[in-house]
Amino acid sequence: MQESADRLAMATIVVETALHAHSLSPEHWWLIAWVVFLGSFVLLAQLAPVVLFPIFYKFEPLENEELKRRLIVLSERPGTRVRGVYKWHLSEKSKKANAALTGLGATRASFLPTLAGQLFRRRNRSRARARTRHHVHRQF
């Protein structure tokens, strides 16, 4: 029910923004809406790892020092600067193993789920390596 309400709110914001842009300039409404949405996406990409993700998910510093060291070495090998390694409590919402690379510039963060902290298998290492490679080569 909450997801439906969130989706309805986001759809309302998108439609209202487009309608307001159309009322400002019927000929160029699409350009105004594009600039507003592009600015919003850039802002959200900056804020997501720092503000939004902590609201919806739990993160804590990774306590396993050996695993932390291995992840840092794995990330720094292609030239990525690592500011910290955190456990992402995603397994409360899903049992799937995954990883994420979010943010832009200084707020860029790479997250591994709780499952990766429990079992650092070859599959999880390859996912972490792939996320780091995307970051280094700017493949978004």
By the 8 A CB rule, do 108 and 84 touch?
no
pLDDT for the residue numbered 21: 94
Q: Are residues 40 and 92 in the same domain?
A: no
**How many domains, in total, are found in the chain?**
2
By the 8 A CB rule, do 108 and 102 touch?
yes
Q: Are residues 26 and 75 in the same domain?
A: no
Instruction: List strands edge to edge, sheet with 109-113.
Output: 59-61, 86-88, 109-113, 100-102
Domain span at 13: 2-55
The tens place of each residue's pLDDT in the chain, 140 residues long, gives 777 888 899 899 999 999 999 999 999 999 999 999 999 998 888 888 778 888 877 778 878 888 788 877 877 777 777 777 777 776 666 666 666 666 666 666 666 655 544 445 555 566 666 666 665 666 54
Q: Are residues 79 and 30 in the same domain?
A: no
By the 8 A CB rule, do 62 and 117 touch?
yes
**Of the residues 40, 55, 70, which one is the last residue of a structural domain?**
55
Q: Are residues 67 and 131 in the same domain?
A: yes
Half-sphere exposure of 95 (CA within 13 A, CB side): 0
pLDDT for the residue numbered 67: 79
Q: Are residues 112 and 62 in the same domain?
A: yes
pLDDT for the residue numbered 59: 79
Q: Are residues 81 and 130 in the same domain?
A: yes
Q: Distance between the two ends of the chain, CA-based, in angstroms?
A: 32
Amino acid identity, residue 41? F
Q: Are residues 86 and 21 in the same domain?
A: no
CA distances from 64 to 67, 109, 118, 121, 130 (A): 5, 19, 9, 15, 22
